[in-house]
Amino acid sequence: MYSFNNDYSEGAYPGILEKLMETNLIQTVGYGLDEYCKEAEKLILKHIEKEDSHVHFISGGTQANLLAISSFIKPYEAVITVTTGHINVHETGSIEGTGHKILTKYASDGKVTPEIIDALMEENTTEHMVKPALIYISDSTEVGTIYTKSELEELRHSADKHGLILFMDGARLGAALTADANDLTMADIAALTDAFYIGGTKNGALFGEALVINNERLNEDFRYMEKQKGAMLAKGRMLGIQFMELFKDNVFYDLAAHANKCAAIIKDALLDKDIEFKYEPESNQLFPIFTYKDIDKLSKDYLFSIDSKVDEEHACVRIVTSWATKESAVEEFVKAIKEL
Ligand SMILES: Cc1ncc(COP(=O)(O)O)c(C=O)c1O
C-alpha cells in the first residue's frame, strides 16, 4: 500500500533531524526565548521583509488557529469564512468552544470573497447578533485552490472597509506559494494580512507552525495567551531549530515544490483519461471524480480518502502528495490510472 492520503504521513525532512541531533546537547533557556527561536524569527522576518512583525512558534495548525482567533477578537465577536474552512469543519468546534460563532457561506472554489464578506456583514448588524470581526482564509485552501495577489488585495480592501482582521491559515502555504499559478510572495502576504501562519507540519517539519503577527495591536499580551492555553512549549527550541532549517537557503520552497511536482504528474495522467475534478487542481491536493469501480481498483494498492459522493456511481476522492512522496510511487500510480 502506498499512501496519498496526506502530506503528514512521513516523519521529517532529514536536514531537520540532523540539526536536532547536532544541537541536542547544547543547553538553552526554555519557552521559545532560546537562540534558535530568535534566529528562526530573524530569518523569517528578513524573508517577509517586515522587521516589525512578531513570530510565535506553535506546535500545530488547530492550536495556531485557536490561539490566534481567540486572542484577536472580543467575546461576542465572530469569524467569517467559507463552509469548507478548516476551523468550520475539522477542528471539533474549537473556535466555537471559546464562544465565537463562525459565520459561513458556500464557495465552489473554497475561497472567501468580498461578496461573501459583504453578505455576512449585512446579515449581522446589531448587538442582538454576533459582530463579525475576523476573516479566516487558508492558502492553499482546504480544497487545494490558491489565492491570487489581486484576490488577497481585494480581501484586504474589504477587511479595511468593514474594520475586520484578516487572518490566513498557512498550513499549506508552501504548496500555495510554489504552485504554477501562484503570483504571491510571503512578503506580499505579510503586507496584506494582520496575521498568518507558515505551516511546517505539512511541509517537512516533525511538527510546528510559525505564526506571524503583523498588526502590533494583536501581538499585545500574546505570550500570556499562549501560556494560558498550554501552547508555550518548555522545549520551544524544537520548533525554532526546525524553522531555522526550513528557512535556510530555499528548503521550505524546495520541499513544497516537490509535493506540487508529484501532484502535477498525477493531475496530467488524470486529465489524459478525461477524468473531471471537483475543484481546480492547483497544488498538492487533488480532487478527481472517479467511478466507485475505479475507486475499488485503485484502493487495492493505494490509500486516499473519499471527499464526497457525487451520484450513485461516482465519488470525488482526495489525493495528496507530500515533500517526501516517492517519484517511483507516482510513476506506478500513473500506470494504474492509465489502466483504469
Ligand atoms: C488548512 C488547515 N488548517 C489547519 C489544520 C490543522 O492542523 P493540525 O492537524 O496540525 O492541528 C489542517 C490540517 O489538516 C489544515 O488542513
User: How far is the centre of ligand 1, averaged over its atoms, from the C-alpha of 26 (Å)?
Assistant: 31
Q: Whose CA is nearest to atom 4 of ligand 1?
A: 61
Note the pLDDT of residue 165: 99
Q: Whole-angstrom Cα distance, residue 210 to residue 196?
A: 8
CB 281 within 8 A of CB 287: yes
Q: Give the up-direction half-sphere exposure of residue 105: CA atoms within 13 A in the CB hemisphere.
A: 17
Q: How far apart are alpha carbons 157 and 176 in whole angstroms?
A: 21
User: CB neighbours (10 Å) of residue 9?
Assistant: 14
Of 111, 137, 202, 239, best ligand 1 pocket probe by most atoms within 8 Å of the beta carbon: 202
**CA-to-CA distance for 44 and 129, rounded, in angstroms?**
39
pLDDT tens digit string along 220-257? 999 999 999 999 999 999 999 999 999 999 999 999 99
- Contact by Cβ (8 Å): 288, 316: yes
DSSP-derived secondary structure for 203-237: TT-SS-EEEEE-SHHHHTTHHHHHHHTT---TTTH
pLDDT one-digit tens code per residue, 254-285: 999 999 999 999 999 999 999 999 999 999 99
Tell the burial category of 334 from Cβ atoms under 10 Å away from its Cβ (0-12, 13-18, 19+): middle
Ligand 1, pocket residues at CB < 6 Å: 60-62, 86, 138, 142, 169, 171, 201
How far apart are the CA of 90 and the centre of ligand 1, in A? 8
Per-residue pLDDT at 187: 98
Helices (H), the chain: 14-22, 35-47, 61-72, 86-89, 114-123, 149-162, 173-177, 186-192, 216-219, 222-228, 237-246, 251-272, 292-299, 327-338
Q: What is the pLDDT along the chain (340 residues), one digit of tens a residue?
A: 999 999 999 999 999 999 999 999 999 999 999 999 999 999 999 999 999 999 999 999 999 999 999 999 999 999 999 999 999 999 999 999 999 999 999 999 999 999 999 999 999 999 999 999 999 999 999 999 999 999 999 999 999 999 999 999 999 999 999 999 999 999 999 999 999 999 999 999 999 999 999 999 999 999 999 999 999 999 999 999 999 999 999 999 999 999 999 999 999 999 999 999 999 999 999 999 999 999 999 999 999 999 999 999 999 999 999 999 999 999 999 999 999 9
Omega of the bond leading into 140 within 30 degrees of 0 (cis): yes
Q: How far is CA 98 from CA 69, 92, 95, 101, 223, in A?
A: 9, 12, 5, 9, 18
Give the number of C-alpha atoms closer than 13 A to the C-alpha of residue 31, restricted to the C-beta side. Answer: 7
- pLDDT, position 312: 98
